[in-house]
C-alpha cells in the first residue's frame, strides 16, 4: 500500500493535476481542520475569510461572500498546546495543513479562492501524535499508525470521536459547498 500525501504536498499535487486539465475559473480548498477555540463545534463546517501561512506569515484573503473565521496553515498536525499557541499568535479559529499552499497558487494566478473547512477535532481533543507518522516527504504512514493505535486502546475513544466528527463535518461541508456554488453562479 502506497502512503497518501498529506498537507501542503497533497494540496500542491492536487492543484497541479487540476491545472494540467486546462484553465481554472475558481479554486476551492475543502477539507478538515482542527478548532482553535472552544466556541467552534466539532462536526460543523465554516466558510473561511482568509488563510495565514505560519511558515511565511503571508495572509491570503478569500473572495467576496466568504465567512468571518480565519484559518492558519501549519506544517504539522497541531496538538493541544500548539492549538493554544496558534490561536494566541494568529487570532485564527481553525488550523489545517494545506490551504495556504492552495491559496498562494490561486493568488499567483489571479483565480478566485474560497475555503470551506469542517472541524474534525476540537480545541481540547487529545489525540495521538500524528506527526510521528508523516514521513519527511509528506506521506502519512497509515499501516504504522494503525499498528500503533491498535496497541494503545486508550486512544480508541478519541479516534472514534474524530471519525464521527469527520463524518458529520463532511455533511456540513457538502451543504456549505452547495450554498457557495449557488452564490457564485
Task: List the CATH number of the domain containing 169.
Answer: 3.40.50.1580
Q: Are 60 and 107 in contact (CB under 8 A)?
A: yes
Indicate if the pLDDT at residue 158 is higher than 70: yes
Distance CA 180, CA 132 (A): 36
pLDDT for 120-151, tens place per residue?
A: 999 988 888 888 998 877 778 899 999 999 99
pLDDT, mean of residues 82-102: 95
Of 34, 7, 16, 35, give the one whose Cα is nearest residue 140.
Answer: 7
Q: How far is Cα 6 from Cα 97, in angstroms, rounded to an integer?
A: 8
pLDDT of res. 64: 65
CA distance 177 to 35: 19
User: Is pLDDT above 50 for 115?
Assistant: yes
Range of the domain at 33: 4-184
pLDDT for the residue numbered 7: 64
Question: In the chain, how many domains are there?
Answer: 1
| Residue carrying the nine cell digits 499508525 | 145
Question: Cβ contacts of residue 130 below 8 Å, gap of 6+?
Answer: 77, 140, 145
Amino acid at each position: 500500500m502506497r502512503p497518501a500525501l498529506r498537507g501542503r504536498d497533497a494540496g500542491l499535487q492536487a492543484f497541479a493535476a487540476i491545472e494540467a486539465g486546462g484553465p481554472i475559473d475558481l479554486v476551492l480548498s475543502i477539507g478538515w481542520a482542527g478548532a482553535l477555540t472552544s466556541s467552534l463545534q466539532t462536526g460543523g463546517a465554516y466558510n473561511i475569510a482568509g488563510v495565514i501561512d505560519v511558515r511565511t506569515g503571508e495572509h491570503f484573503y478569500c473572495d467576496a461572500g466568504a465567512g468571518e473565521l480565519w484559518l492558519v496553515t501549519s506544517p504539522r498536525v497541531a496538538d493541544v498546546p500548539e492549538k493554544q499557541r496558534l490561536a494566541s499568535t494568529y487570532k485564527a479559529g481553525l488550523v489545517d495543513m494545506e490551504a495556504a499552499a492552495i491559496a498562494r497558487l490561486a493568488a499567483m494566478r489571479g483565480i478566485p479562492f474560497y475555503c470551506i473547512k469542517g472541524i474534525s477535532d476540537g480545541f481540547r481533543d487529545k489525540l495521538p501524535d500524528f506527526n510521528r507518522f508523516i514521513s519527511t516527504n509528506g506521506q502519512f504512514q497509515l499501516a504504522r499508525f494503525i499498528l500503533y493505535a491498535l496497541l494503545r486502546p486508550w486512544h480508541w475513544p478519541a479516534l472514534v470521536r474524530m471519525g464521527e466528527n469527520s463524518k458529520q463535518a463532511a455533511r456540513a461541508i457538502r451543504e456549505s459547498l452547495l450554498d457557495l456554488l449557488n452564490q457564485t453562479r
